[in-house]
Homo-oligomer: A and B are copies of this chain.
């Protein structure tokens, strides 16, 4: 069982964008960060339910496949689930449609828990007012021997990294300079200690960097 993180960041280290508008809830910057990943065959199959076989099949796709492999539970922040966008909608069920791509229990950290939501395909969203450590323990138990993903956003990921709780950090560095957003790397001096770090560049230009315990 390993605790894993996968994030996409810009060259200047921004993992979450801040140009969202009501009409464009992810923002232009988010699209630029995620284009190469969204173009993979695996993303199209797993997230968009597109079984046509279209999509890229190179190094980006290898990481996309790996992303979905052997995950037994996820912990995510309220922002990733969308609670900051729809705080007053008790029926909000996340961004991912009726059959979200998680297929496992997902623990959403929030100060205002709500009832669990069972979705098609094995995903159940649970809402917890818990410390990162407690949430990880709960997720680890639910994962039943499989890996646990710390899903983000970056502020939450930093908390887990600082606490030394992450076994594998995979960062897809997209070769663009965003100049705004929320940074991944802040306040993580010396993070590399105790990890083996390696990197390779995909056909898209994305640099895949992995910190492995």
Interface residues of chain A, those whose CB is within 8 Å of chain B, are 11-13, 175-180, 183, 185-192, 197-201, 205, 207, 209
The verdict on A188 contacting B179 (CB below 8 Å), with A12-B13, A13-B12 known, is yes
Determine how close the nearest CB of chain B comes to the CB of A87; give it in whole angstroms. Answer: 30
* Residue with the highest number of chain B CB atoms closer than 10 Å, among A187, A189, A197: A189
6 other contacts beyond A12-B185, A175-B192, A176-B192, with CB at 8 A cut-off? A11-B185, A177-B185, A177-B188, A179-B190, A180-B189, A201-B207
Determine how close the nearest CB of chain B comes to the CB of A17; give it in whole angstroms. Answer: 12
Question: Residues of B contacting A12 with CB < 8 Å?
Answer: 13, 183, 185-186, 188
- Bound together, the chains give a CA A175 to CA B193 distance in angstroms of 11
Determine how close the nearest CB of chain B comes to the CB of A212; give it in whole angstroms. Answer: 12
The verdict on A199 contacting B201 (CB below 8 Å), with A177-B191, A179-B188, A189-B179 known, is yes
B175 and A209 form a contact (CB under 8 A): yes
List the B residue with the shortest CB-CB distance to A188: B177
List the B residue with the shortest CB-CB distance to A175: B197
